[in-house]
Structures are given as C-alpha cells and as structure tokens.
Amino acid sequence: MIQWTNAVIGTKKDKNIWDYPKLSNILLKINTKLNGTNAVLKVHDVIERFFSHGHRVMYVGADLSHAPPSARSQPSVVAVVASADDVPSRYFKEVYQQHRPESARNESREYIVDMKAIMKSLIQQYEQHRGYPPNAIVMYRDGISESEFDTVFEKELTAIREACVELSPVYRPYLTYIVVNKRHHTRFFPTNSDKNVQAGTVVDSHDITNPTTYDFYLNSHHGALGTSRPTHYHVLYDDNKLRPDEVQMLTYALCY
C-alpha cells in the first residue's frame, strides 16, 4: 500500500521534478496487472509463425531448486511456467515442493516427480484462457547435467505424454525438449576486439559442440562488464521438427 511517507515526488537530487524512470516502471507493472501488453517483439521472418496470432504453441520453462547440502531434510522447490498468449507476455505458473523419500535416495534429484500433474494443470489453464489446447509445446529445462540427460529426460517426457493422454486419449501435441545449461567453462572472444561477443552470437560448429548430439551455444545478452558466459542448449527431443536456425532464433527471441 502506498503511504504518504514513501510517496515522494521528485528525485534525490531535486525534489521539484518528477522521477520519470520510477513512474514508468510503476506504470508498466500496473499495465501488466490490468492484462495489458508492455512490449511486442519484432522478430525475423524465419520465426514469425511462432509469434503470429493464434499460433497455438505453449512455451514452458522448468527448474528445480535444492536446499543447501547442510539442510537435506528441507524440500526442493519445483517451478514451472507456461506462456498464456501469442506474444508471449503472460504466463501461468505451478510451484511445488518436492521431498526426497528414502526409497528414492539413489535416484537423480533433478527429476521432477509431479511433472504429470503440473503439465495437466498448465494445459488446462491454457485451454480455459484461450478456448483450445496447445498444438505444440516447447520446453526449456534448466539444471540438468549431461550425465543426467537420459534418466531425467525420459521420465519427464513420459510424464508429459501421460498428462496429455489423461486429458484426452486423442490429444498428442508436438513436443520439443531443450536443456539449458550455464555451468560450463566455455567462453567466446571476438578476434578483432577486446570486448565481449555481441548479443545474439550463436556457435554451433562441431569443432566446439558435441558432434553426436544436437547442441549449440548462444550469447543472448550484452555483457558490459566481465566476460560473458554463453548458454549451452541441448535439444534432446524435437517432435516439431524445427530447423536449427528456427530453434536458435526462437530461443534468442524468448530471452526478451
């Protein structure tokens, strides 16, 4: 609640002028809460169909946050968000606590146990909001190491498929499952400058990436200080049959 003590007109330097950046930030938040859209991306023709009106693609982001090693009894926190509109600028969310029972102590901690229930809820919310379920789902999954790709991916993909079948026996949306990883030691530097590589730089050469898997590096944002750390993306499953340039440009666009 805004009180007289914190509703101050002006800036620290001059109390007689309006703090326009602060007012702009507040108005953007108010506009979002009133179902407004603050910004719309102008994308390349290659991925224009992913942002066109009525495209029926649901973008999903999932991560699992663990308690510190000294607090093993505390549960992990699962957070999954899914896009709700065409832009996308609005999202649905599901937040769960995940306990690790003694019977599963030898299993990977990165497997989201309630993935089926989470995806059922997100798809149902999408259908209630738009009047129809998504035809395609593109999931970005954070926090999986390469040694856990097979076990975690297979369990979560199966859970997503089971969620769709429980909603309707004939419901089979196309799925793309991409793992996002920033825990690596790969860095890129331009040959003609001592600054960071430009935002949007993609490296998918087999001289650097894994020649047996579908992966690439993307430096999505400009780094003014320090050395930029590119994000490593692994496309583990692609039912949508996206071309490499579509995956890379779509990933870059969703960063904004």
pLDDT digits (tens, 9 = 90+) for 141-155: 998 888 888 889 899
Q: What is the mean pLDDT of the chain?
A: 87
Residue ranges and CATH numbers for the domains of the chain are 43-55+114-254 (3.30.420.10)
Summarize the confidence of residues 70-94 as an average pLDDT.
88
pTM of the model: 0.85
Where in the chain does DSSP place strands (E)?
57-65, 76-83, 91-98, 136-142, 174-181, 201-203, 215-219, 231-238
Summarize the confidence of residues 224-242 as an average pLDDT.
90
**Residue 56: how many other CB atoms lie within 10 Å:** 13
Q: Give the span between the Cα atoms of 242 and 177, in whole angstroms.
A: 11
Sequence letter at residue 235: V
Residue-level pLDDT at 10: 65
